[in-house]
Structure 1
């Protein structure tokens, strides 16, 4: 019986994390305007963009290589960054919050519609990060 319980516990530990949800907002403008607005909203807070991931380009470039002719996005970029102050705060509360860093805001164009968004984070300290991301997105939408 003890082995069965332990096997169950370790089996649960091996399960993948549940998919994260995303918060998206429509952007009234072009993809280029949206990326400029998001980049500006991040930089205006004194944050440094560590990486701009051009996910849309990669998906469009590699579709045929993986046997797909589906065009997911016209364009899609993710801006990745951290906040030293906020990251320290959430990781002092729980060092495993490192799993959520860096933080990202994405811009995507799909079927002629441009959207801006970010992933959602778990309840607790990470809600501070989610609030920052939402502030950035709201600034970009103005």
Structure 2
């Protein structure tokens, strides 16, 4: 009985409401912007764990699931972690482990070719340092730093 009560208490904890991601739009090619994002992540001393080619996957499987709606020209998500920032936010709240790795997405839609959206989840509270890290990387990428 005690175990079930403990699980219920964990699931009853308040969860942060979903917030809109922080996004930036730039007029450039998808290749240039993804290269800039990748470079900014590496220049920040971080290692990219994975590049998820979400746009290609959704297009490849579109007919298989019965959809006739193409979503992206291209869409990628870069995932990575920062030992320094992760330790900081997890020391503040151990459950922040759920947010690691962090991601920056880049996409181009069919209805706006040449208009590339770059962004990341918006974090606050004990995750504010991650928000600052991701925003800094995106701004560096878009500024060509």
Does the pair score TM above 0.5? yes
**TM-score of the two chains, using structure 1 as the length reference:** 0.86
How many residue pairs get matched? 133
Residue equivalent to 1:46: 45
Alignment of 1:1-142 (within 5 A): 13=12, 18-110=17-109, 111=111, 112=113, 113-121=115-123, 123-142=124-143
Q: Tell me the CA shift for residue 16 of structure 1.
A: 8.6
Deviation, 1:15, is 9.9
- Shift, 1:23, TM fit: 1.1
Indicate how the Cα distance of structure 1 residues 40 and 64 shifts in structure 2: closer, same or farther if over 3 A, else same.
Answer: same
Structure 1: 5+ residue stretches without partners: 1-5
Q: 1:125 to 1:14 in 2, by over 3 A?
A: closer
Aligned alpha-carbon RMSD (Å)? 2.2
Question: What is the DSSP-based 3-state SS (H/G/I as helix, E as strand, rest coil) of the residue aligned with 2:40?
Answer: helix
TM-score, normalising length from structure 2? 0.84
